[in-house]
Chain A
Amino acid sequence: MDILATYNIKGGVGKTAAAVNLGHLAALDGRRTVVWDLDPQGAATFYFRIKPRIKGGGKGLLRKKRDLEGVIKGTDFPGLDLIPADFSFRNLDLALADARKPVRQLLRLMRPLAEEYDLLILDCPPSISLVSENVFHAADALLIPLIPTVLSLRTYQQLQGHLATKGFRAVTLLPFFSMVDRRKRMHLDTMASLRDRDPRLLDTVIPYASVVERMGIHRAPVTAIAPQSPAAVAYGRLWQETKKRLAHS
Chain B
Amino acid sequence: MNPVARPRDHEYHLPRVLREGALGELLAGFRLARQDHLHTTLWVLDTFDWRLFGAGLRAVLDGERLRFQHLADGRPAGDSAAVAPPVFAAAVDPGVCDGRLAQILSVRALLPVAGIRLARTTYGVLNADDKTVARLRLEHRRYLDPEGGETAPWERVLVLEPIRGYGATRKALAKVLQRHFPEHRPARDICARALEACPRRPGEMAGRLDMVLDPAARADESVKVILGRLHAAMADNSPGMLAGLDPEFLHDYRVAVRRTRSVLAQVKGVFADGITRRYREYFGGLGALTGPARDADVYLLALADYRALLEPAHGPALDAFADFLRERRAREYRRLREELSRPRHARMMAAWGDFLTRPVPRRPAAANAARPVKGLADERIWKMFRRVMKEGRAITAAAPPEALHELRKSCKKLRYLMEFFASLYPAGETTPLIKALKRFQDNLGEYQDLSVQMEQLAGFEAEMAREGRLAPQTRQAMEALVARLEARHGVVREAFDERFAAFSEPAVQAAFAALYHAGRD
Residues of A within 8 A of B (CB): 29-30, 32, 48-51, 67, 69-74, 76, 79, 81, 112, 115-116, 219
Kindly state the separation between the CA atoms of A79 and B4 in the bound complex, as whole angstroms. Answer: 17
Assuming the contacts A49-B129, A49-B130, A49-B131, asked whether A74 and B1 have C-beta atoms less than 8 A apart, the reply is no
Kindly state the separation between the CA atoms of A32 and B77 in the bound complex, as whole angstroms. Answer: 11
Kindly state the separation between the CA atoms of A219 and B129 in the bound complex, as whole angstroms. Answer: 10
Is the CB–CB distance between A72 and B165 below 8 Å?
yes
Task: Chain B residues near A49: list those with CB within 8 A.
Answer: 129-131
Identify which of B75, B77, B165 contacts A73 (C-beta below 8 A): B165
Assuming the contacts A67-B3, A70-B3, A115-B2, asked whether A76 and B131 have C-beta atoms less than 8 A apart, the reply is yes
7 contacts between A and B (CB under 8 A): A32-B75, A49-B130, A51-B129, A72-B164, A79-B76, A112-B2, A116-B2
- The smallest beta-carbon distance between A16 and chain B, in angstroms, is 18
Instruction: Name the residue on A nearest B162 (C-beta).
Output: A74
Instruction: Name the residue on A nearest B69 (C-beta).
Output: A30
Task: Chain A residues near B6: list those with CB within 8 A.
Answer: 116
Kindly state the separation between the CA atoms of A76 and B6 in the bound complex, as whole angstroms. Answer: 15
Identify which of B1, B130, B164 contacts A115 (C-beta below 8 A): B1
Assuming the contacts A67-B3, A73-B166, asked whether A30 and B130 have C-beta atoms less than 8 A apart, the reply is no
> In this assembly, does B94 line the interface, its C-beta being within 8 Å of a C-beta of chain A?
no
> In this assembly, does B132 line the interface, its C-beta being within 8 Å of a C-beta of chain A?
yes
Is the CB–CB distance between B3 and A81 below 8 Å?
no
> In this assembly, does B163 line the interface, its C-beta being within 8 Å of a C-beta of chain A?
yes
> In this assembly, does B78 line the interface, its C-beta being within 8 Å of a C-beta of chain A?
yes
Instruction: Name the residue on A nearest B124 (C-beta).
Output: A76
Is the CB–CB distance between A70 and B4 below 8 Å?
yes
- Pairs of residues from A and B, 5 with the lowest C-beta to C-beta distance, nearest first: A73-B165, A30-B76, A49-B131, A74-B163, A74-B164
Assuming the contacts A30-B78, A49-B131, A50-B131, asked whether A74 and B165 have C-beta atoms less than 8 A apart, the reply is yes
Is the CB–CB distance between A73 and B2 below 8 Å?
no
Kindly state the separation between the CA atoms of A76 and B126 in the bound complex, as whole angstroms. Answer: 10
Task: Chain A residues near B75: list those with CB within 8 A.
Answer: 30, 32
Is the CB–CB distance between A73 and B76 below 8 Å?
no
Task: Chain A residues near B3: list those with CB within 8 A.
Answer: 67, 69-70
Is the CB–CB distance between A73 and B78 below 8 Å?
no
Interface string of B1-37 (1 = CB under 8 A from A): 1111010000000000000000000000000000000
- The smallest beta-carbon distance between B483 and chain A, in angstroms, is 42
- The smallest beta-carbon distance between B91 and chain A, in angstroms, is 20
Is the CB–CB distance between B4 and A67 below 8 Å?
yes
Other 16 A-B pairs with CB < 8 A, given A29-B76, A112-B2: A30-B77, A48-B131, A49-B129, A51-B129, A70-B4, A72-B4, A72-B165, A73-B164, A74-B166, A76-B124, A81-B164, A81-B165, A115-B1, A116-B2, A116-B6, A219-B129
Assuming the contacts A30-B76, A74-B164, asked whether A69 and B4 have C-beta atoms less than 8 A apart, the reply is yes
- The smallest beta-carbon distance between B6 and chain A, in angstroms, is 7
Task: Chain A residues near B2: list those with CB within 8 A.
Answer: 69, 112, 115-116
Kindly state the separation between the CA atoms of A51 and B132 in the bound complex, as whole angstroms. Answer: 13
Kindly state the separation between the CA atoms of A67 and B163 in the bound complex, as whole angstroms. Answer: 18
Interface residues of B in 163-181 (CB under 8 A from A): 163-166
Kindly state the separation between the CA atoms of A30 and B67 in the bound complex, as whole angstroms. Answer: 11
Kindly state the separation between the CA atoms of A71 and B167 in the bound complex, as whole angstroms. Answer: 12
Kindly state the separation between the CA atoms of A76 and B122 in the bound complex, as whole angstroms. Answer: 13
- The smallest beta-carbon distance between A51 and chain B, in angstroms, is 8
Instruction: Report which residue of B78, B131, B164, B165 has the largest number of chain A beta carbons within 10 angstroms of its beta carbon.
Output: B165
Task: Chain B residues near A70: list those with CB within 8 A.
Answer: 3-4
